[in-house]
């Protein structure tokens, strides 16, 4: 995956429905900015103008505007988004964080 992602500027994933998105997760891990639809599952991982661009997936013109917005960003802003994604991935997917999440679930189930 990294071999492909290192040669592109952003991931664009527009959909009406997603479960937890492995594709977006992989992009985060590779530090790749994401342009995605404003559905809950995607906005859990991508915050508008923080680590990507979130668009209204029901309106093609909004999708086009989101892509143009990304293209027009200064390189420094694209680099900042990349850094934000890598940092977010490290926080979400590091072993200690996952262990804590499992422990929280187990504690909830005990109640």
Tens digits of residue pLDDT in 59-107: 999 999 999 999 999 999 999 999 999 999 988 888 888 888 889 999 9
Does residue 52 contact residue 85 with C-beta atoms inside 8 Å? Answer: yes
Q: What is the DSSP letter of 48?
A: B
Count of domains in the chain?
Answer: 1
The CA distance from 41 to 37, in Å, is: 9
Instruction: Kindly report the CATH number assigned to the domain that includes residue 47.
Output: 3.40.50.2000
Residue listed under structure tokens 């985060």: 28
The CA–CA distances, whole Å, from 45 to 22, 85, 109 equal 10, 9, 26
Give me the phi and psi of 39, to 5 degrees please: -105, 150
Is the predicted pLDDT of residue 10 greater than 90, yes or no? Answer: yes
Q: Domain containing 100: what range?
A: 2-110
SS3 category, 37: strand
């Amino acid at each position: 995956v990294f071999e492909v992602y290192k040669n592109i500027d952003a991931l664009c994933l527009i959909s009406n429905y997603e479960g937890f998105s492995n594709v977006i997760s992989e992009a985060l891990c590779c530090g790749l900015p994401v342009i995605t639809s404003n559905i809950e599952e995607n906005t859990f991982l991508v915050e508008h103008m923080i680590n990507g661009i979130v668009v209204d997936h029901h309106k093609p013109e909004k999708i086009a505007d989101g892509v143009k917005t990304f293209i027009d960003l200064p390189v420094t802003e694209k680099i900042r988004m990349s850094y934000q994604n890598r940092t977010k991935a490290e926080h979400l997917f590091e072993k200690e964080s996952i262990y804590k999440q499992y422990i929280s679930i187990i504690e909830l189930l005990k109640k």
